[in-house]
Amino acid sequence: MRDKPNDGNGRVGVYVDGFNLYYGLRQLSGRRDLWLDLAGLARELLRDGQSLEVVRYFTTIVRGDRQAAARQRVYLAAVQSQGVDVVLGRFQERRNRCHSCGLSWRSYEEKKTDVAIASAMVADTALDRVDMVMLISADTDLCGAVETIRTIDDGRGTKTRVVSVFPPGKGANELRRCSDAWFPLGQAMVRKCQFPDTLTGPGGDVYRRPAYWN
């Protein structure tokens, strides 16, 4: 099979691993750059002539911190107002026990996000919605989906290209090897694609950067 075109009118789907990106941004600059315009970032990552077909953002509402959850919901509403498809997973409760002392405690494990990202990328490819998949993540659990995408024939003898974009401070050799191309997301691009402190959506709703993120 030959690659689908990555120039001209190539359709690009951008798939964002929310937690992977979040921790990369926190490592980069603390809370300073969390008010990130995902749709704007996706557009900046396109080449001339490419078109942005969809931006899908995968995350889970935090547990155990009401204020953090409230800030997260404000952010999700802001990115949705710009046309981003937000896909929510969930946290599953786990009971842990110390084998030495018998002490038990409760923790939470994020569920469904990796599966949701993989399913969305493969589905959009199989349904011929995109000519290129741009994955913003450094999670090697997604290698299987990437490898599957690169084997899907659209019936015309062409295949979808996969480009991995690594969040700040992150990388993954396995994703490098199985992707058609990869590059790191740099600080300059992150700073360029911040929302204004006060954002007015197309419907007139107003979203304000959480003060805690200053």
Strands (DSSP E) contained in the chain are 2-3, 11-17, 51-59, 85-88, 90-97, 104-111, 132-136, 158-159, 161-166, 181-184, 198-200, 206-208
Q: Is residue 48 part of a domain?
A: yes
pLDDT at position 113: 86
Closest CA to 19 of 136, 187, 118, 106: 136
CA dihedral sign, ordered 193, 174, 56, 117: negative
Q: How far apart are CA 46 and CA 14, in angstroms?
A: 10
pLDDT at position 112: 74
Q: How far apart are CA 13 and CA 132, in angstroms?
A: 6
- For 7-62, write each residue's pLDDT tens digit: 445 999 999 999 999 999 999 999 999 999 999 999 999 998 899 999 999 999 98
Provide the domain limits for residue 146. 11-209
Contact 42, 184 (CB under 8 A): no
- For 117-175, write each residue's pLDDT tens digit: 999 999 999 999 999 999 999 999 999 999 999 988 766 667 899 999 999 999 999 99
pLDDT at position 98: 55
The H or E element containing residue 190 is: helix 187-192
pLDDT over 90 percentage in the chain: 75
- For 106-125, write each residue's pLDDT tens digit: 444 555 789 999 999 999 99
Q: Is residue 157 part of a domain?
A: yes
**76: CATH:** 3.40.50.1010
CA dihedral sign, ordered 123, 125, 129, 130: positive
Q: Which residue has the higher pLDDT, 19 or 104?
A: 19
Q: Is residue 117 part of a domain?
A: yes
Q: Is residue 5 part of a domain?
A: no
pLDDT at position 107: 41
Average pLDDT over residues 50-77: 95
pLDDT at position 153: 76
Between the alpha carbon of residue 82 and those of residues 34, 36, 185, the distances in Å are 16, 12, 21
Residue 198 pLDDT more than 50?
A: yes
Q: Going by DSSP bridges, is the β-strand pair 104-111/90-97 parallel, antiparallel, or unpaired?
A: antiparallel
Q: Could you give the 3-state DSSP secondary structure of residue 193?
A: coil
Place of tokens 């030495």: 100
Contact 161, 132 (CB under 8 A): yes
Please state the pTM of the whole predicted model: 0.87
Q: Is residue 3 part of a domain?
A: no
Q: Is residue 6 part of a domain?
A: no
What does DSSP assign to residue 115? H
Q: What total of structural domains would you count in the chain? A: 1
Q: Is residue 1 part of a domain?
A: no
